């Protein structure tokens, strides 16, 4: 799980959300050298559902919210490896040229990325009324489908916040699964509350490697 791919500006509130482009490149090289292959979440889902084949050591590289560096820095690194990313896009991030305007998202899709929903305004979904919950969960899916003509089959909870009521809305909206900020390996029994491995700006390649090796493979 990545957020901003850029150097953290001095004094920024959450510097660990920023991963330096050189660190990202080093982390992806580490994966390639250690036999990993990035795949979309949909391919993992297909494997879990009916055993559709996956490459050895499959890993999903996901990017939350929709930040400019995910296009300018992450896309070229992954493209060189022939790997897709998974973009968990907040719909409102399409509105600014400083985040991810539609033309940038289209280039990512053209490179094989998967587009998944991450609401419209990024609220804590456990604290909104039912009308807003549905607008954020279902409305974000239809907005992205309408704009990009791709399935948008997975959902990512803003700030990892969910409860049974939120999960029920995600299922009702037709998503096949959803990702959280719970730390660990994704497992099929948690298809609507999949864990991920958070990568922090302070990790560099060494801690990144330790996190992956610590989970076993
Ligand atoms: Zn987010």
Cα-to-centroid distance, 119 and ligand 1 (Å): 9
Which CATH number does the domain housing residue 208 bear?
3.20.20.370
pLDDT at 142: 98
Average confidence score pLDDT of the chain:
97
- All residues at 6 or more sequence positions from 154 whose CB lies less than 8 Å from its CB, including other chains: 41, 42, 45, 86, 114, 116, 117, 175, 176, 177, 178, 179
162/205 Cα distance (integer angstroms): 31
Domain of residue 163, residue span = 4-214
Are the C-beta atoms of residues 193 and 177 closer than 8 Å to each other? no
Give the residue from 84, 54, 95, 65 showing the smallest Cα distance to 5: 65
Cα-to-centroid distance, 80 and ligand 1 (Å): 26
Each residue's pLDDT tens digit, 15-67: 999 999 999 999 999 999 999 999 999 999 999 999 999 999 999 999 999 99
Cα-to-centroid distance, 16 and ligand 1 (Å): 14
Query: Across residues 163-190, what is the average pLDDT?
Result: 98
Cα-to-centroid distance, 64 and ligand 1 (Å): 5
Cα-to-centroid distance, 122 and ligand 1 (Å): 6
Cα-to-centroid distance, 36 and ligand 1 (Å): 25
pLDDT at 165: 98
Cα-to-centroid distance, 161 and ligand 1 (Å): 10
Cα-to-centroid distance, 159 and ligand 1 (Å): 5
pLDDT at 216: 57
Cα-to-centroid distance, 181 and ligand 1 (Å): 9
Are the C-beta atoms of residues 43 and 64 closer than 8 Å to each other? no
| Number of compact structural domains in the chain | 1
The yes-or-no verdict on residue 217 having pLDDT over 80 is no
pLDDT at 215: 77
pTM score, two decimals? 0.97
């Amino acid at each position: 799980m990545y957020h901003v791919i850029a150097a953290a500006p001095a004094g920024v509130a959450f510097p660990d959300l920023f991963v330096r482009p050189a660190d990202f490149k080093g982390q992806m090289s580490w994966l390639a050298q250690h036999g990993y292959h990035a795949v979309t979440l949909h391919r993992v889902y297909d494997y879990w559902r009916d055993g559709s084949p996956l490459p050895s050591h499959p890993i999903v590289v996901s990017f939350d919210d929709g930040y400019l560096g995910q296009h300018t820095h992450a896309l070229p690194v992954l493209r060189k490896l022939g790997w897709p990313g998974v973009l968990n896009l907040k719909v409102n991030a399409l509105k600014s040229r400083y985040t991810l305007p539609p033309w940038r998202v289209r280039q990512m899709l053209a490179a094989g990325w998967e587009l998944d929903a991450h609401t419209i305004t990024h609220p804590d979904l456990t604290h909104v009324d039912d009308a807003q919950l549905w607008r954020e969960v279902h409305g974000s899916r239809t907005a992205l489908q309408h704009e990009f003509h791709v399935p948008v089959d997975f959902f990512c909870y803003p700030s990892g916040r969910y409860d049974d009521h939120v999960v029920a809305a995600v299922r009702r909206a037709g998503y096949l699964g959803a990702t959280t900020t719970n730390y660990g390996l994704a497992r099929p029994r948690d298809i609507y509350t999949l864990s991920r491995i958070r990568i922090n700006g302070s990790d560099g390649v060494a801690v990144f490697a330790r996190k992956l090796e610590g989970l076993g493979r």
